[in-house]
A and B are shown apart, each in its own frame.
Chain A
Amino acid sequence: MTDILELKNVTKDYRGVYAVKSVDFTLKKGEIHALLGENGAGKSTLTKIIAGAVAPSSGEMLIDGAPTSFAAPKDALAAGIVMVYQENSLVPALTVAQNIYVGRERFYNRLRGINIAAQQLMQSLNFNVDPTATVATLGAAQKQMVEIARAVSQNARVVIFDEPTATLTPEEKHHFFGLMRRLKQSGVAIIFISHALEEALNYADRITVLRDGEMVTNGRTDAFDRDSIIRAMVGRTLSKDIYGTAAEERSIRKPGKKVLSVSNLSMANLVKSNSFSVFGGQVTGIFGLIGSGRTETAKIIAGVLKRDFFHGGEVHFHDQSVRYITPQPAVRDGIVYVTEDRKLEGFFEAMSIGENIGMGDQAINGGPLSVYSMVRVRRLAGEWIKSLNIRAINEDAKVIELSGGNQQKVVIAKSLVQHPKLIIFDEPTRGVDVGAIVEIHNFINSLADAGLAVVVISSYLPEILAISDRVLVMRNGRIVEEFDGETTTEEKIMYAAVH
Chain B
Amino acid sequence: MSDKQTIKHRGAKGEFHFAYDDLHQPADDGVDMKIHQELIVFIIWAISFVALSVALPNFFTEGNLISLLRSVSVLGILAIGMAIVVIGRGIDLAMVATMAVSVAGAIVLLQQGYSIPVALLAGFVFAVLVGTVSGILIAYVEIPALFATLAMGLFIYGVGRFGFFNQDIVLIPPEGGSLSWLGAGRVFGIPVSILFLLLFAGLVALFLRYARIGRFIHAIGDNPSTARITGLPVRKLYVLSYILSSTIAYCAGIITATGVGSMNTRIVNSTMLYDVILVVVIGGISLSGGKGGVRNVLVGTLLIGTLLNAMTIMDIQYTVQNVIKSMILLIAIIVDSLLNPRDEQTAQQGDI
A401 at the interface (CB under 8 A from B): yes
Interface residues of A in 193-235 (CB under 8 A from B): 212-213
Interface size class of chain B, counting residues whose CB lies under 8 Å from the partner chain:
35 or more
| A359 contacts the other chain (CB 8 A) | yes
Interface string of A432-447 (1 = CB under 8 A from B): 1010010000000000
Selected from B13, B210, B216, the residue in CB contact (under 8 A) with A40 is B13
Are B12 and A351 in contact, CB atoms less than 8 angstroms apart? no
Contacts A343-B20, A349-B346, A400-B27 known; A360 to B230 CB distance under 8 Å? yes
Contacts of B228 in A (CB 8 A): 304, 326-327, 345
Q: A347 vs B223: C-alpha distance in the bound complex, in angstroms?
A: 8
Shortest distance from the beta carbon of A110 to any chain B beta carbon, whole Å:
35
Whether A431 pairs with B212 at a CB distance below 8 angstroms is no
A106, B246: Cα distance in complex, Å: 54
| Contact among B7, B222, B230 for A434, CB-based, below 8 A | B7
Judging by beta carbons under 8 Å apart, are A345 and B7 in contact? no
Contact of B15 among A19, A212, A238 (CB under 8 A): A19
Residues 85 to 104 of chain B near chain A (Cβ within 8 Å): none
What per-residue 1/0 map shows which CB atoms of B211-230 lie under 8 Å from chain A?
11111101100110111111
Q: B222: which A residues are within 8 A, CB to CB? A: 348-351
> Do B345 and A343 have beta carbons less than 8 Å apart?
yes
Q: Which of B6, B30, B225, B291 has the most CB of A within 10 A?
A: B6
Interface-centre pick from B7, B24, B28, B214 (highest chain A CB count, 10 A): B24
Contacts of A432 in B (CB 8 A): 10, 17
B320 within 8 A of A: no
Give chain A residues whose Cβ lies under 8 Å from the Cβ of B5.
238-239, 241
The answer to whether B229 touches A339 (Cβ under 8 A) is: yes
Contacts of B227 in A (CB 8 A): 348, 359
Write the B1-29 contact mask toward A (1 if CB under 8 angstroms, else 0).
11101111111111111101101101110
Q: How far does the alpha carbon of A462 sit from the alpha carbon of B215 in the complex, in Å?
A: 41
A430 and B16 CA atoms in complex are apart in Å by: 8
Binds B, one of A127-135, A263-271, A362-370, A383-391: A362-370
A302 vs B30: C-alpha distance when bound (angstroms): 31
Does any Cβ of A come within 8 Å of B187's Cβ?
A: no
Tell me if A66 is interfacial: C-beta within 8 Å of chain B.
no
Per the bound structure, the CA–CA distance linking A42 and B3 in Å amounts to 20
A17 contacts B11, CB within 8 Å? Answer: yes
B290 at interface by CB-CB < 8 Å: yes
Kindly identify which residue among B3, B12, B14, B231 contacts A363, using a CB–CB cutoff of 8 Å: B231
CB distance from B128 to the nearest CB of A (A): 16
With A and B bound together, what is the CA distance between A460 and B12 in angstroms? 11
On B, residues with C-beta under 8 Å from A are 1-3, 5-18, 20-21, 23-24, 26-28, 30-31, 209-216, 218-219, 222-223, 225-235, 290-291, 343, 345-346
Q: Contacts A328-B231, A431-B20, A431-B21 known; list 9 others, CB within 8 Å.
A: A40-B13, A40-B14, A302-B229, A349-B222, A349-B290, A349-B343, A363-B231, A372-B215, A374-B210
Query: Across chains A and B, which 5 residue pairs bring their CB atoms closest together, nearest first?
Result: A17-B11, A331-B231, A345-B225, A241-B2, A14-B18
